[in-house]
Each structure stands twice: as C-alpha cells, then as structure tokens.
Structure 1
Amino acid sequence: MAHYQGRKNERRFSGIKGESKTNFSHLCSLPSLSSLQLRINWYYLPLTFFLVIGLVGCGGKSPPASQPNAAGSSNQDSNLTFFDVTLEQADEVGRPIWKVRAKRAKYTQEKQIGQAESPYGELYQDGKVIYQIKADVADIEQDGKQLFLKGKIFATDPSNGIVLQGNELEWRPQEDLLIVRNQINGTHKQLQAVAREARVKTREQRMEFSGGVIANSADPQLQMRTEHLIWKIKEEKLIGDRPIQIDRYKNNNISDRGKGNAAEVNLKTKIATIQQNAQLELLDPPVQIASNSITWNMNAETVTTNSPTRMFQRAEKVTVTANQGEMKIPQKTVYLTGNVNAIGQRRQSLRANTLTWYLDNKLVEAQGNVLYRQVDPPLNFAGETAVGNLQTENIVVKGGSSSGRVVTEIIPQERANRQ
C-alpha cells in the first residue's frame, strides 16, 4: 500500500493510568468500524502495532492464509499517511503531559518514526501548559515517558515569552526537563543566546546553555562568552562556572571587558561579580584591574575588590598593589587600603597604609607609614603623608602631627648601584 488516503483522518494516543487509547474515528468508512476503540498498554506495545491495527481494520479483512508473506512483502510499502493527527500522553492520574497535532503525517513502520507536517502542540506540567511547540516539518518519536522531535523546532514559554529554537527537542516530564539541541538560539526581552544545547529545569525556572555559548543582555548591554552559562530566570541572574569573558558596550562599542574563571551577573541590579583570576580592563580611564574577586557595579559605575589587588594605568605605566581597593569610574578616582605599593615607570615607589589616586590629575595622596623611594637621584623619604605626581617624581612628604619631622635618606651612588 503506497499511502492510505481517507477523509480527514484522525489519530489520537492518550495515556491514562499507564494505558493508551487509539481512536480510528473517520479513518474507515465502514459503519461497523467507525467508532472502533482499542485499549492497549502503552509501555509494552510500540507505535507500529497501532498503525497495523488501523491498516487491517480499514481493509475490512485480513490477508488470506495462503499469502504468508503479505504482511512483510517487499512489494508492500510500509509508509502510511494520516491527516489531522493528534498524539497525546497523560500521567498516572490522567493529566496531560504533552499534545502534538499535525495536519498531515507519514509513518514508517521500520523506523517507527512519524514525519509530521506543520506540527504544533503543548507540553504540560501539573496539567498546565508550560511550553508551546511548533515546526515546519518534524520527525516525532514517543515512548510514553519521553517525547522527541527532530526538525526546525520552536518552543515558547507562554508565561515569560522565552523562545528556544533548535533542530532537536526532548521532553522528559518525569525529570521536569526540556532539552533543545543542535544550533540553539534563545530569545527573550532580557537575553539572547546561542549555544549547542539548552536544558530547562521547568519547575526551577532554570536554564543551562552549554557549548560555544554567546549570550547578549539588553540592559545592561553585555555580551558573555563561555562554555557553560546558567540562567536563573526568576532571579534574573546569569552564572558562569567556567572561564568567561564579559564585554560591556556603550553606543554599540566595547567600553570595558571582564574575564575570570567564574562570574555572576545580576541583570536586575546590574552588578557583575568576577572570581578566580578576575581581570577587568577599562577603556576610560585606561586601567587594568586584577584580583581574585572583583565586584563591578555597572549602575553605580564602581569597581570594588576585597582581596589583594593589582591596578595598572596604561598611559602613565604606573602599577599599584594593595590589599583591597575601590574605583569610581566617572570621577576617575581610586581608593586603595592595606599594604599599598605604587611603582612608576622608572622604578620610583611610594608605600603607605592608604592611597587615593586621582587618575585625571595624575596625583596621589598617601597616608600612614609613608615611604617614598626614587632611583635617580637615589634617595628615600619617610613620613606620615605624601602628595604629588609619582610619574614626574614630584612628591611632597610630610611628617606626622606629633613630631612633624620627615626622615630623608640620601643614598650614595655606589650603594644605589648595588640596589
């Protein structure tokens, strides 16, 4: 049989308490068969069996016993065509877990795969629609526990507008897991992402992108590149647990770039926390910041580090290290505390307990146990405060309020050469 053509054929599979029901109404023209219904255990009989029943029933009689090869004859085409197809599956209490409809479908018995034209349907959880699915053409497989679709597939979450596009879809209702694979493109008003695979934990509202992930957020305007990115949808958080690069854009141009082995971006507060070999490179002012943990507040335009920090000013080639620091980007001002050590291009250095660095004016203000040292001419100054330009070696050191004295050490040339 090349194809079985009939009036508006309809075929439904629905699992109720572990069973399935096949409805062949409108499939056959015989009155005695027009309401034929067969109840068969879903888990023990394949989809092929349903179609064979439909084929034999519509023929009105089974093949004669004298034709033993009729059922499996190579002359008989095993492709069947159905119209207005509906695939349904329910959980153990009778609630739907998926419904897929198609205007036209072809079924190949050998492969046990149905190719549906313009399929559309719903995925359910607790009896409620959680995703709507559609495709131009898709191969459909189902085993009662899982649903597979292959083709150009779109899955839409009606509650938040997330759309996942890919070439494979797998729905595992018992695991609350939706998987979309093969050239993933996810879109949402807050985020757009491409990856090789997306896994959605439907109850947790958690989505994991993996494989060549490129995610773009609209506000703040960021692009994230990594191999694995977790999106906590309700919390509006993006979490990268692999090496990640974060590019910030202003007027469609990269203004700042962050890197690290892990990161968390809060899209609501616009705060990014970069950890483990964290680096942040700013364009204006031209400063590189390195630490084990960097908090980047894009709304307040501040950068904070609570662990040992290294900052490098590219234009003046000044490097400053400290136990922790804070930078106010619009004011171009850096505040450093704890074991501060600033080093200029000619190895001149300034040590202090705290340091305020005015990048625009190229000035530093140091306080507490100040020690200034320069190489040419070789000399040291020790005091309680210091103000000046480190790059031009124009530094004024002052003593404390108690003694008011500054200790000056002039280093002989021979000693300076040995240092």
Structure 2
Amino acid sequence: MNTKTMGWIRLSTLPILLVTLLLTATGCRSGSRGADRLAEDSSAAQQVDSNLTFNNITLEQADEQGRVLWKVQSEQVVYSPDQRVATVVNPDGELYQEGKAVYQVQAQEGEVRRDGERIFLRGNVVATDIKSGAILRGNEMEWQPKRDLLIVRGNLRGTHPQLQVSADEARASNRRREVELTGQIQATTLDNPKLQLEGERIVWQLDNEMVISDRPLVMQQLEGEQVTEQAESNRAEVNLQAKTVKLLDNAILTLTEPPLQIRGNSLLWNMDEKTLVSDQAVTAVQRQEQVTLTADQGRMEFEPQTAYFMGNVRATGQQNQALLTADQLTWQIDSQRVEAEGNVVYTQPDPPATLRGPKAVGRLQDRTIVVSGGRVETQIVPNGDFNFLPDGAN
C-alpha cells in the first residue's frame, strides 16, 4: 500500500465489509464438504488480516473541535478487529496540544487508541520537547492528551543544554512546562562549575530554568572530577540560569578547603559569586581549629575566606571553652582572627575571667583576645595576667 494519511473514520466500513465477506463465503458453500469449508474459512481469514494491515501510512487523531491530537507515521499499522487499537511499527510523529505540535516522538513499536485518550510506545523511545529542546529517552512512553501528561519510564535518560538527568520515570506537563522525575535520580548541570544532584524526586521547570525538590537532596560541586563543596537539605531550589541553590530545612554545606561546615534552615549558595547567605539562624564549625560560631544571620565569601555574622553571635573555642558573644562578628577563616562589635562579652574558665566592651579582636584557640572601648583597654594573655592600659597607651 502506498504511503498516505489515514484517520480512524476512513476505516469505519471495514467490519461490515468483512462480516459480509464471511457470511457470503459461508452461504455459498453450505453444502460443500468440511475440507472445502475449512479452506474457504482460511482464505477469508487471510483476507481479514490483509484488510487490517497497512504499510507506510500516517495516522491522525483529532479532538471534539477538530484539532489534531497526534500524527504518527509508521512503516506498518495493524488494526484490531474492532478497530479501536492500532499497533504501529517504527512510529515517528508529533503530539499536539490545542492544535500545536508540542512533542516529537520515535520508538520501535507502539499502540494508538481510536478514542485518542492514549498512545503507548515501546523500545528505544525518544520524546523531544519542541520548545526547550529537552530530550527524554527510555524503554516506554505513554501520552494522555486530555490529562496533559507524557510519561517516559525505564532506563530514563534526559539531555538538555543546561542539564543531564537519569531516573526511573519522568512525567511531563506541557501546560505547566515542567517535568517530574522520580526514582534513583542523578542530575548534572553542564556549565562549569558543575553541580551534581542525587535524590528521589525533583521537578524540573523548563521555562523558569529551575530544579525544585521537596525531598532530601544531596548536591556536589565539581571542579573537573574533584568535589569542592557538598550540600544536603530536606528541600532545595536550584536556579540553573543564576547558578544559585536555595537549601531549605536542615541544610548543611560542607567545604573541603577550608574544612568548614555551615548549617541552617535557609542557606542561599551562589556558585558563580562563591558566596553563602543565611537569612535565618546559622551555625558554622571549623573542624580543625575546633571553633563554632552561631548567629541569627550570616554571610560567607569563599574568596577571600571571610564570614560575617549578625545578631546574637556566639563564638566558642571548643578545646578551651573560651566564649565570645557580640551583636556582630567578622571571622577571617584562614587566620582564625575574629573582630567583634556591639555588647561584646568574653569569658574563659581557666583562669576564670569575664570581660566586656564595645569591641574585641583576637583568636579564640589560644585565648589572645583584646577587648577595647571607652577609656580602658583590657588585654588577656595565655598565662592569666591582665594588663589595664589607658586609651592611646603603647
């Protein structure tokens, strides 16, 4: 049969013709021997099969308004006896929404339904979002146009100029312009520095260029093959265009150099600017020096390695139990030097001491803290001696 476009309605007379053919064959040979009837029935069955099989055709399906729902080219189409299902070989076509093509699809085989509610494709499935260029590949695909739902499952892999993904299943909505990925997910951004995400459920917003997760997610920033930072949180929002990550709910960012861990419930990580901002309570721990800082808010610059803490700041030297509290504090991470301002209080247990003032500078690890302000500067040295110097004294 030559290649042509066929709608379901064009084949609506086939059952009547085929039934008439069978009845005629039976009536004309009613007095013949059993062998003759068997041969004739077999011939009629072959004619039925022939009338339900077509080569190199294009199938179309329209909605109630006459708008195309899908258009599929196929090397071969075999209709079921009731013509409600067509089995297609090597289908290649487009899926439509409101009369506009939204997906291109290919596969090794599949089934299309006369009611237009579902298309199933199997074997090396390729589904391309025409607007964004995102490509989903898998073992199976299902299209439900009335539900605005495209499902690709089985060895799922996705590619896009911004992102590569693998998962168990993808459920795409063209109207919402998003893809929900579930299962064993691994997603990697393609721009440097690369960010690799691992989780069980993410929503990829194509037009907004966002990846959102409402489940625990682990992220690693890669420089080549080396992990430079690792983050995890119960919820996260990744802006692919701005290269920012919003870590929410029990968030942790761990740096390899320096060995620093920052925890909070709201951390904004900017990978391009190499900064981390917390607009809620934040805790930072320097593991080597055993220094812990907490505050109501904070900001860290990875280059240079400087952190700023604001509101109810507490800096603790865990080894010697030295404690410094202030309204705000700047922490030079490389040198471990702190500069505190506003309602500064410094305490240490051995030898016991408590000092107050508007400002303080020094290092908690070796208890070399200078509290200053007003007319008197008080200096504490490691042996416990105190020097009281008037302002301006050398």
TM-score, normalised with respect to structure 1: 0.79
From 214, 218, 222, the equivalent of 1:249 is 222
In 2, the alpha carbon distance for the partners of 1:72 and 1:356 equals 93
Which structure has more helix as a fraction of its residues?
Answer: 2
The farther-off stretch of 249-258 and 138-147 is 138-147
Deviates more, 1:251-260 or 1:320-329: 251-260
**Could you tell me whether the CA contact under 8 Å between 1:264 and 1:272 is conserved in 2?**
yes
| Alignment: residue pair count | 368
Rounded Cα–Cα distance in structure 2 between residues aligned with 1:257 and 1:391? 27
Deviations 1:107-141 (A, max 9, x none): 56599765433211111122221111112x21313
Gaps of 5+ in 2: 385-394
1:260-299 residue pairs with structure 2 within 5 A? 260-299=233-272
Give identity over the alignment, percent.
Answer: 40
The answer to whether the aligner puts 1:376 opposite 2:350 as a matched pair is yes
Q: Hey, what does 1:188 align to over in structure 2?
A: 160
Give the conservation status (yes or no) of the 8 Å contact 1:229–1:238.
yes
Among residues 353, 356, 361, which one is paired with 2:335 in the alignment? 361
Question: What are the within-5 Å matches in structure 2 for residues 13-412 of structure 1?
Answer: 13-14=7-8, 20-22=9-11, 38=12, 52=15, 62-65=24-27, 66=30, 81-106=53-78, 114-135=86-107, 137-142=108-113, 143-219=115-191, 220-344=193-317, 345-398=319-372, 400-401=373-374, 403-404=375-376, 406=378
Contact 1:138 1:152 in 2 (8 A): no
CA distance in 1, matches of 2:320, 2:16: 90
- The answer (yes or no) to whether the contact 1:383–1:406 under 8 Å persists in 2 is no
User: How large is the RMSD of aligned CA atoms in angstroms?
Assistant: 3.1
CA distance change for structure 1 residues 365 and 99 in 2, over 3 Å: closer, same or farther? same
User: Matches of 1:55 and 1:132 in 2, distance apart?
Assistant: 35
SS at match of 1:64: helix
Assess if the C-alpha contact under 8 Å between 1:215 and 1:225 holds in 2: yes
Q: 1:407 to 1:256 in 2, by over 3 A?
A: closer
DSSP-derived class of the 1:63 partner:
helix
The 2-side partners of 1:69 and 1:346 are apart by 100
Aligned amino acid, residue 196 of structure 1: D
Shift, 1:159, TM fit: 2.5
- TM superposition shift of 1:217: 1.1
Q: What displacement does 1:210 show?
A: 1.4
1:383–1:407 contact (8 Å) kept in structure 2: no
CA distance in structure 1 between the partners assigned to 2:82 and 2:233 by the alignment: 51
CA distance in 1, matches of 2:26, 2:40: 10
The 1:71–1:120 alpha-carbon spacing in structure 2 relative to 1, beyond 3 Å, is: farther
- Change beyond 3 A, Cα 1:99–1:328: same
Alpha-carbon offset, residue 253 of structure 1 = 1.7
TM-score by length of structure 2 reads 0.84
SS in 2 for 1:277: strand
Residues 140 and 152 in structure 2, CA contact (< 8 A), matched pair in contact too: yes
